[in-house]
Amino acid sequence: MKIVILDRATLGFDIDVSIFEKYGEVTSYDVTKKEKTKERIKDADIVLTNKVVIGKDEMDDSNVKLICITATGTNNVDLVYAKEKDIEVKNVAGYSTSSVVQVAFSMIFYFVQKLNYYKSYVDEGKWQKSKIFTHIDEPFYELDKKRVGVIGLGEIGRNLAKKAQAFDCEVVYFSTSGKNSNSEYKQVSLDELLKTSDIISIHAPLNENTKDLLNYENMKNMKKGAILLNLGRGGIINENDLAKLIDEKEIYCGIDVVNKEPIEESNPLLKVKNKDRLLLTPHIGWASIEARTRLVEMVAQNIEDFIF
């Protein structure tokens, strides 16, 4: 079996991928540009891709029998044509739940606890000049009794809800599909969630129901001081509207995903004036060491199930 990894760098070089060698001869590329994809997969039996697009042109005249997506989303592979060509496509799911939720809570505490401000206060030598033992000029709050609104109550959303309850938070949710009937938490409309939640966390897929789901008209109704997190997909929040609102109203935003990644220089979020209200991270939610280790093991299992 010839195995080709198209974008090894996306898995991180602290993760060992030698497990794939037991299934065949492995050729690994750190990154693969579009014009190189067809050539690199032509003679492969198995292809691993995270974000490299594999469409009709790439699959034509190839020897590919299995495409393993090293992620949950499958939009980078033409699934219809793969089926026509009798090429099996397998993804992985559920590997990153704890990682995403941990990053979400890191963002929550970043804003709630104001640790960045207090660390700077000490690092800049101000504490030793204080006339009293403490310094509490930047108010911070407890999570107890705060309302957490979850948009998208799938596996990750439920995990965040459970951990929010451990902090004695009230949890409500909005179902983006309209099909979720989870009775553990109160289901509310999107407008009610945005108007009443102290913390709002997005864990939904990007589709026709969620594209620009959050826009200027509904986000302007958020509570003053509310925290908005997006660890779902870029495009669920209209980025132009969000950038405008951050500079108009005191809301705080933790954004791990944007509409086009890597983020473009022209992205309006990079031009926000009130930068203390915005925490941008480069799509790290999925990527704890443990999550990436699980991901590689699950991809290996997909290969094993295919071969044997």
Distance CA 39, CA 36 (A): 6
Distance CA 92, CA 301 (A): 10
Distance CA 23, CA 302 (A): 11
First to last CA, the chain: 12
Sign of the CA dihedral running 157, 176, 287, 83: positive
Residues contacting residue 66 through CB under 8 Å, at least 6 positions apart: 45, 46, 47, 87, 88, 89, 90, 302, 303, 306
Distance CA 48, CA 113 (A): 41
Measured in whole angstroms, the distance separating CA 229 from the mean position of its chain's CA atoms is 10
Q: Would you say 161 and 169 are in contact if contact means Cβ atoms under 8 Å apart?
A: no
Which entry of 217, 250, 261, 297 is annotated as an active-site residue? 261
Which entry of 8, 40, 233, 292 is annotated as an active-site residue? 233
Residue 263: DSSP 8-state: P
Query: Which of 259, 164, 254 minimizes the C-alpha distance to 213?
Result: 259
Strand partners, 88: 66
Longest dimension (CA), the chain: 77
Phi–psi pair at 99, nearest 5 degrees: -65, -45
User: Helix or strand or coil: residue 308?
Assistant: coil
124 CB-contact burial (10 Å; exposed 0-12 / middle 13-18 / buried 19+): exposed
Residue 223: DSSP 8-state: P
Which entry of 88, 155, 192, 283 is annotated as an active-site residue? 283
283 is a catalytic site residue: yes
Phi–psi pair at 186, nearest 5 degrees: -75, 125
Give the catalytic positions in this structure. 233, 261, 283
